[in-house]
Structures are given as structure tokens and as C-alpha cells.
Chain A
């Protein structure tokens, strides 16, 4: 407990916080600019359309592709940033929002997190594949049985 009273502790904590914000800014801001440009060039809809097959088995809309990809590659906070933006703009429905979040809480920042453990001696392929299978199964099961499209539409 006495560490809390030291200057170094607060200095370290402060730096940690600055680093956290900086890391988010350098990823989120360029990505948002890219997305706006892609939107205006009508590229975003096209790309989302090409990859619609990846989310079709879960009956999700093409707009789900981009937040999922961002979360999988960069991390949950970044994915959430894009989900919040999409929620504000009304491009994603409630069911999509929930299923994307469900998938991403289980499986995000897939490459970096896996490497973190592979470096200290875990079998990286095993955990990477297992995590993908787990996230896909959970999302599919919840999307199919707990919030099937017909039921959600009725409620809305």
C-alpha cells in the first residue's frame, strides 16, 4: 500500500495513461479519416459487400464487417469506437450491435494477444484457432437461438 504515496508510482501511472490515450489516438484518428474517405468514394459499401459472406451465416448486415475487422486486428476498444460511431449514425441495428460485441469480447486483438503468450511458451496456433472457434460458435448460437432475426424484428 505504501507504494501509492511515492512519486515514481504516480509518475509511472501518469505515463501509462498518456501512453494509453496516445496509442488510441494514433490508431483511431487515421482509421476514421480513412473510413470517411472510403465512404465518400463509395468504396466502403463495396468492400463491406464483398465481405458480407463472412457475417451472413450470423444474419448480420454488411455494416458489421468494418467494426469486426477493426476489433479483431487492433483490439476491443478500437472496435468499440467504431461500433459506437455506427450506433450513433444508425447504420447498425440492436441485434448486430450485440452480436458484434459478443464476438469481439471473446476474440479481439487476435494477433497481438496470441503473440504475447506464444513468446512466453504457449502453443500460439492452438490458442488462436480455439479462440476463433469459440467466438464463432458462441456468436452463431446466440444469434440463432437467443436472438433469431424474426423474433428481434417482432419486438421492434
Chain B
């Protein structure tokens, strides 16, 4: 095998892929940063507040859920830091967020594989909420 040619081919593929990911992620990353500066997050959090009770979570956790989904997990963890939550609440919130987060950037990336991403977003949002619902329910039964 020709080591030089193989390495070169790997480097080219590595750079092309990095460049492609950059082209896709950079504009969305920028949009997300700007979105974080607008009052949209607060509006959505206020809308989500009453629903949080279904997951056994206090209304204030809506902010973490909204910023986690539209911005990223670090923003969600930052929002959680401002609240006093017990282990069940943190774990349920973590469950929902682990399945469904950073939707704008991650969906832009998955779209590049050429598949239908609407179904994927739906699976994540619904799946995340269902997992949180189940976990909260199971937790109160067994723990």
C-alpha cells in the first residue's frame, strides 16, 4: 500500500468534510447566538411554563427546556444553575434535553445526509417529552 497516497486521500476527505460541516453550521450557529439575544426565548418559556407540571417539574424549568432545544445544552445547564432542583427534577429535565436539544444546528447538519429531517425533529421532540414523562412516572413509583 502507498502510505503517502492513502494519507493524502484521508487528509483531503478530512478537510472537505470539515469545510462542509463549517459551511452548514456557521450560519446556523450565528443565527442561534443572535436568537439568544432576543426576547423570543422568554416568550416561549412563558408558553411552556404551564405544561412543565406534566413532567413533574416546576414552571421555572421551562426556560432551560426552551434554550436547550433552540440554543444548546450549555445554555440549558446555565439556566438550570439559577434554580434549586432535586435529583428527580434534574434527571427528568436531563432526560428530555438529552434526547431533544440544539435542534437548529443539529437539524441543519443531519439535513446534509439527504434525508427527510422533519420526521427526525418530530421523533426527538415527542420522544424526549415521552421519555421524561415515563421517567418521572417510574421514578415516583420505584424510587
Give chain A's interface residues, CB within 8 Å of chain B. Answer: 1, 3-4, 9, 13, 16-17, 20-21, 24-25, 28-37, 40-41, 76-77, 80-85, 87, 94, 97-98, 101-102, 104-107, 113-114, 116-117, 120-123, 126-127, 130-131, 134, 138
Contact = CB atoms under 8 A, between A and B. Distances in A.
Contact of A16 (B33, B34, B38, B131): B33
B131 A3 contact: no
Interface of B: 1, 3, 6-7, 9-11, 13-15, 17-18, 20-22, 25-26, 29-30, 33-34, 37-38, 73-74, 77, 80-81, 85, 87, 90-91, 93-95, 97-99, 106, 109-110, 112-116, 120, 123-124, 127, 131, 135
Contact of A29 (B14, B20, B74, B95): B14
Given A28-B21, A77-B25, A102-B123, A120 B81 contact: yes
Contacts of A123: 87, 91
Contacts of A80: 21, 109-110, 112-113
Nearest to A41: B1
Contact of A101 (B14, B37, B113, B131): B113
A131 B99 contact: yes
Given A32-B10, A101-B110, A81 B1 contact: no
Given A13-B33, A17-B30, A117-B97, A24 B22 contact: yes
Given A80-B110, A121-B87, A134-B127, A32 B21 contact: no
- Report whether over half of chain B's contact residues are helix, strand or loop; otherwise say mixed: helix
Contact of B11 (A33, A76, A101, A105): A33
B98 A36 contact: no
A109 to B, nearest CB: 10
A84 B17 contact: yes
A102 B81 CA distance: 31
A130 B95 contact: yes
A33 B73 CA distance: 30
Nearest to A100: B113
Contacts of A34: 10
Contact of B34 (A4, A87, A122): A4
Contacts of A76: 106, 109-110
B7 A37 contact: yes
Contacts of B9: 36
